[in-house]
Amino acid sequence: MTGPAGVGIGWRPEIAGFVAGLPGLRFVEVVAESLAATGPPPAGLAALRERGVTVVPHGVRLSLGGAEPVDPARVAHLGAVAELVGAPLVSEHIAFVRAGGVEAGHLLPLPRSREAVDAVCANVARAQAALPVPIALEPIAALFDWPDDELDEADFLTEILDRTGAFLLLDVANVYANARNRGVDPVALLDRLPLERVSYVHVAGGAEHGGYYHDTHTDPVPPPVLDLLRELCARRRPPALLLERDGHHPPAPVLRAELDALAAASGFPVVT
Amino acid sequence: MSGDLAERQAALVAALVAGGPVPAGFDPAALAAAGAALLRKRAGEVARHWPLLAAGLGPRWPATFARWAAGRPSGGSLRDGWDLARDLRDRGALPPLGAEELAAREATDRYDGHAPPRPRRLPGWGHAGGAVAVQAAGRVRLLRPARR
């Protein structure tokens, strides 16, 4: 099984027919928690596997950034799903999703502190010890920062990647969202990240609500995110790009145009 | 400032989803925006599990859900929608489509409002807003539609 390559799309049941009809597709991602570890995978996903399409399970509920040790059952599930779809790697987030027995319902940012770096590195090490394939870590979009950050974002991420040996799943929409909401330049972060560690890149849409840019995955990819993708590719083109669209799915021609825009921005072959 | 990361993470989650106080040093406006975004995301997830309930409320769905869910941590999308549907039923505010969906769910699963719902092994029935649903051997049928 080869690593992610070219332009891919997040496989979701709602768009399974659309994804099945993409002739040049070589790479999809699937939300790991949406699959049963015992299988079988959904028919649409199994058909893609038979075509040789690489499938990467993307975890959203491990809570690798939680202060408490990661749940071994959740890691075992991620590993089982990776084997089920013959994945070359899995991905998860540098974030926490629950604390004190309460589910937050989404990815929350860590303080950029030494204590948090230690916590996330310990959990990544626990996961790596139990997973059958490498893991790529994704920095998230956050609407707020903790008040006591000791490290800036680039140092925080680089330290975690160096200590864990994990790959980087870079989300240019998250980079854009964070920079815009903090009023800083997103390109400056690109220049300080270890781009040689990127295994693939997420691209997603978002929208403005109440003065904040929200990384919704349910809106079109805005032009500044494509601009940032071009900036990234000009520095070092990643092996693969993946369009994430989780809801309010547009008509097929609109989704095809978004995939084509990713191909145009990166120079990868069109998959539509 | 350093200290107990576990406690601080718990306090942050409580502030975002359980009506807890804003922890010291955080930007209240940014946390409020994050909390509202969590409610929007959750409303979308619950709507996928309770499509008729959401459709019955139409444009009022996001605000109806957000009012009910604010300060109330999620019990999972199935239970969130179930609890909300019962709450609306008790207040006479459950739309007919939602009543039919609730009646069907009550017929197929046993749910006490505390533990996760479990499939009924025996034939069962459910009713809400005039809708009556019966279930036998796992097949559910709407005997009577809701009052419209």
Chain segment A224-237, per-residue pLDDT in tens = 999 999 999 999 99
Residue A48 at interface with chain B, using a CB cutoff of 8 Å: no
Q: Which residues contact A244 (CB under 8 A, 6 or more apart)?
A: A10, A29, A173, A202, A203, A204, A217
Percent of chain A topping pLDDT 90: 97
Residue A121 at interface with chain B, using a CB cutoff of 8 Å: no
| Predicted interface score ipTM higher than 0.90 | yes
Contact between A91 and A169 under an 8 Å Cβ cutoff? The reply is yes
Residue-wise DSSP of B2-65 = ---HHHHHHHHHHHHHS-PPPPTTS-HHHHHHHHHHHHHHHHHHHHHHSHHHHHHHGGGHHHHH
Quick one: pLDDT at residue A178?
97
Mean pLDDT along residues A128-149: 96
Chain B residue at shortest CA distance from A96:
B9
* Residue A39 in domain: yes
pLDDT digits (tens, 9 = 90+) for B84-94: 999 999 999 99
Mean pLDDT along residues A184-202: 97
Q: Residues in chain B whose beta carbon is closer than 8 A to a beta carbon of chain A? A: 1-14, 16-18, 24-27, 30-31, 33-34, 36-38, 41-42, 44-45, 73-74
In a mutagenesis test of the A interface, which of B4, B7, B13, B74 is the best target, namely the one with the most A β-carbons within 10 Å?
Answer: B13
* Residue A272 in domain: no
How close is the nearest chain A Cα to the Cα of B70, in Å? 12
Quick one: pLDDT at residue A3?
87
Give residue A215's pLDDT band: very low, low, confident or very high (50, 70, 90): very high
How close is the nearest chain B Cα to the Cα of A103, in Å? 7
Give residue A148's pLDDT band: very low, low, confident or very high (50, 70, 90): confident
Size of interface A-B (CB pairs under 8 A): 91
How close is the nearest chain B Cα to the Cα of A191, in Å? 27
Do the Cβ atoms of B17 and A103 come within 8 Å? yes
Please give the structure tokens belonging to residue B100.
């039919």
Give residue B3's pLDDT band: very low, low, confident or very high (50, 70, 90): low
pLDDT digits (tens, 9 = 90+) for B105-125: 999 999 999 999 999 999 999
Quick one: pLDDT at residue A1?
53
Q: How many domains does chain A have?
A: 1
Alpha-carbon torsion, ordered B115, B120, B121, B122, to 10 deg: 140
pLDDT digits (tens, 9 = 90+) for A78-127: 999 999 999 999 999 999 999 999 999 999 999 999 999 999 999 999 99
Contact between A87 and A113 under an 8 Å Cβ cutoff? The reply is no
* Residue A140 in domain: yes
Q: Over chain A, what is the mean pLDDT?
A: 96
Q: B76, B85, B80: which is closest to B104 by C-alpha?
A: B85
Please report which helix (H) or strand (E) contains residue A169, including its range: strand A167-171
* Residue A1 in domain: no
Q: CA B80 → CA A155, A271, A272, B19, distances in Å? A: 40, 39, 39, 17
Range of the domain at A253: 6-266
pLDDT at A2 > cutoff 90: no
CATH code of A13's domain: 3.20.20.150
